[in-house]
């Protein structure tokens, strides 16, 4: 079992904190252009989305294409806290600056409601498989969009205007925590059970694995983190609209997972970074973005169908020798 306090983990921690400090310094000193800052925030959001979807599609072997629906639930539910109920909540927050507390409450509320939605949707739909499950999850995403589109309280088609209270530290540390928690879940006995469902559901059932339970669990956890990503997104973009979270958003996230590699957390991170960077580079040519995305996906399916990393993870196992032992996987 991998030690928590090891030389390898120490190197990773130092690298993560150094990256955070450099970006924070460039932002605070106005060195980094606003457009680059925006795309860094989007990369964090899409890393969370891709890793959480990979838990469902890559590690558990399901086929969900309605992940943007959970993102929208997290976005609008957090907006209720930070925009709608803020005037009623602020008097009870004994702090000079109540915004971080509001954002934390919105983040937790949005993620929890999205997780509950994932559980409620997962119970009836995850008895389905393959194309049928894909259609069901797509239908869920469209239902959520239409509900928000017709909700006067949530701004209908015009959407909601929110204060920008999410900052780089929030994006960075929520992303790191999300990736770490999903990574640890995959490596746990529950994660192994999810992988057994992906490999052979009938054999897993024969060995006593409650396949429906683990599919619903993976779906709920994935929805929870998608809701957290939606909450961060909502509290940075000033305005959120139901049309933002349509089928194309789910498709973009699915492409990130496929590009990086189904069953690879590192691959999901790489896929999110690559796709977000391509979108940023094509910002002046929006009509070509979908075309290039489609070409990229077709090329990936032809030349490397398993994705950039397949089911492999980036590893620093060679550093385990510093502990006087072979590194853990």
pLDDT of residue 329: 40
Supply 149's token pair.
């589109």
Q: Shortest CA distance to 76 belongs to which of 120, 115, 114?
A: 114
Asked whether 209 and 193 are in contact (CB, 8 A), the reply is: yes
What is the CATH code for 7-323? 1.10.3470
Q: Shortest CA distance to 53 belongs to which of 165, 178, 162?
A: 178
| Spatial separation of the C-alpha atoms in residues 199 and 31, rounded to whole Å | 48
Q: Cβ contacts of residue 214 below 8 Å, gap of 6+? A: 60, 190, 193, 194, 197
pLDDT of residue 226: 96
Q: Which phi and psi (to 5°) does residue 160 adopt?
A: -120, 145
pLDDT of residue 324: 44
Q: Which phi and psi (to 5°) does residue 56 adopt?
A: -80, -55
pLDDT of residue 316: 60
| SS3 (DSSP) at 1 | coil
Q: Cβ contacts of residue 284 below 8 Å, gap of 6+? A: none
pLDDT of residue 302: 84
pLDDT of residue 328: 43
Supply 95's token pair.
């702090």
pLDDT of residue 25: 94
Q: List per-residue pLDDT tens for the chain, 329 residues long.
A: 345 566 677 788 888 999 999 999 999 998 999 999 999 999 999 999 999 999 999 998 888 888 999 999 999 999 999 988 888 888 888 888 888 899 999 999 999 999 999 998 888 877 777 778 888 888 888 899 999 999 888 888 888 888 889 999 999 999 999 999 999 999 999 999 999 988 888 898 888 888 888 989 999 999 999 999 999 999 998 889 998 898 889 888 998 998 888 888 999 999 999 999 988 888 887 777 778 777 877 887 788 888 888 777 776 664 555 444 444 44
């Amino acid at each position: 079992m991998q030690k928590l306090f090891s030389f390898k983990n120490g190197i990773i921690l130092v690298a993560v904190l150094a990256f955070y400090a450099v970006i924070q310094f460039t932002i605070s000193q106005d060195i980094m252009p606003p457009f680059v800052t925006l795309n860094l925030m989007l990369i964090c959001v899409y890393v969370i989305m891709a890793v959480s979807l990979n838990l469902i599609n890559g590690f558990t072997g399901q086929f969900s294409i309605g992940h943007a629906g959970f993102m929208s639930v997290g976005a609008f539910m957090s907006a209720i806290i930070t925009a709608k109920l803020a005037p009623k909540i602020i008097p009870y927050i004994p702090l000079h600056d109540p915004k971080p507390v509001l954002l934390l409450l919105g983040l937790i509320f949005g993620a929890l409601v999205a997780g509950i939605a994932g559980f409620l949707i997962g119970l009836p739909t995850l008895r389905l498989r393959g194309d049928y499950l894909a259609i069901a999850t797509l239908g869920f995403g469209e239902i959520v969009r239409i509900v928000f589109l017709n909700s006067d309280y949530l701004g209908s088609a015009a959407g909601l205007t929110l204060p920008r209270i999410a900052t780089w530290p929030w994006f960075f540390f929520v992303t790191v925590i999300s990736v770490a928690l999903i990574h640890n879940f995959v490596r746990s006995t529950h994660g192994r059970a999810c992988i057994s469902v992906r490999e052979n559901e009938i054999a897993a059932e024969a060995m006593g694995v409650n396949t429906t339970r683990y599919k619903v669990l993976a779906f709920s956890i994935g929805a929870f983190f998608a809701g957290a990503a939606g909450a961060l997104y909502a509290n940075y973009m000033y305005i959120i609209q139901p049309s933002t979270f349509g089928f194309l958003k789910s498709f973009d996230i699915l492409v990130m997972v496929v590009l990086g590699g189904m069953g690879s957390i590192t691959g999901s991170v790489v896929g999110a970074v690559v796709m977000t960077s391509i979108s940023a580079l094509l910002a002046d040519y929006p009509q070509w973005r979908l075309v290039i995305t489609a070409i990229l996906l077709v090329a990936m399916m032809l030349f490397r169908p398993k994705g950039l990393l397949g089911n492999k993870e980036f590893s620093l196992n060679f550093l385990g020798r510093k502990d006087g032992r072979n590194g853990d996987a």
